[in-house]
Amino acid sequence: MSFVSYVCNEDQVISLSGDFDVSSVGSVRNLFEDLAVNGSDVIVDLSEVRFIDSSGIGALVFLYKRLVAQQHQMVLIGVQGQPKELLDILKITNTIPVFESLSNYLSDKNSSAAVVH
């Protein structure tokens, strides 16, 4: 598994690729711990993740809970295939917002911000 991290409109974006499982979750552990305290919202791009297991799910839930405790948000984008099926079965998608793409998320975020006064 590999990942790319960058900033988009003050949100931290983490783009993962490959299998997000017990053998690869350690490679993002430090990154997720840093993100949990860095003071920004986080977008996790799973569009290039073809397989996720309970370790990958656990890492996402860990990050989500830590961000919420810091009053930040986390969203998932590009979830498809087996990862989408598992996230749906576990009802993770009922808690962590999921968007089709980064542009869909940004569009939704910008339209929501425009409504708030």
DSSP state, residue 100: S
In the chain, what are the domains?
2-115 (3.30.750.24)
pLDDT of residue 116: 45
Residue 37's pLDDT is 87
Tokens of 73: 């948000």
Mean pLDDT by 10 residues, the chain (117 residues): 92 96 93 89 97 96 95 96 97 96 89 55
Question: What gap in Å lies between CA 114 and CA 92, rounded to an integer?
Answer: 28
Torsion on CA atoms 46, 51, 54, 56, rounded to nearest 10 = -40
Global pTM?
A: 0.91
What is the pLDDT, as a whole number, of residue 113?
Answer: 57
| pLDDT confidence of residue 110 | 78
